[in-house]
Structure 1
Amino acid sequence: MNNNGEDFSFFEWEFSNGETFREWHVKKVFFEGSHTIKLKYEHLCDTGVLVKTLNVTNTATPHVEIHTKGDIIGCKGDMFVFETNKPFETYNWSFGDGATGNMQFETMLTWQTGNTQ
């Protein structure tokens, strides 16, 4: 058997999302989760189906930078806009004083003196 599929009279890749391909070399992007891959084939010596399960996990830790527009030191009544360096699916801001936000860009109005964590 060679790696070009020339010894095969038929082969077909089938992915768990229903996509099928009849090319020997298939490039496919998988997202996190469990994916079933089938290879149906007819070879000079054999006919069959190979089934494999691919488990994809995302262990990448995103590098996030949080910026404010303007100075971080301010006075009571000053407004700060917080933003991230990358878009995300969801946002959960907590400003340390009970105020929260769920948008990519959040504005915080300082209403007391002191530190906010």
Structure 2
Amino acid sequence: MKRYAISAVILVALPVAAPAQFVSAGPPADILAMPNQTSVVADRRDIRRAIREGLRSGDISRAEARSFKREDAAIGQLGERFAQDGLSLSEEYELQVHTEALRGMVNARRVRGDKP
């Protein structure tokens, strides 16, 4: 009877332990979270340039440009606050999301076609 109990435990444990041995390691989590991430600083510089060009061409009104510049400054302040103790992945991702949202608003306003 004891022999049957031992063999039953071995048979139950085998299917559970075997698959765990064949799992391969994947890429680091930070690569999966933000593939091909660009610098937030460079993105903000491009956005400020797009605001100036939109203002010159008349696609963006002065009030809209002020609003966009305020949002850009807020992103900069947030970045400085995050950078005081080093940027975590989630903080860096948050800055990237805010920057992409601002870029989308500026570009949408510039290509809308009608003048302010």
Whether the TM-score (by the shorter chain) exceeds 0.5 is no
TM class by shorter chain equals under 0.3
Higher-helix-fraction structure: 2
Provide TM-score, normalisation by structure 1.
0.20
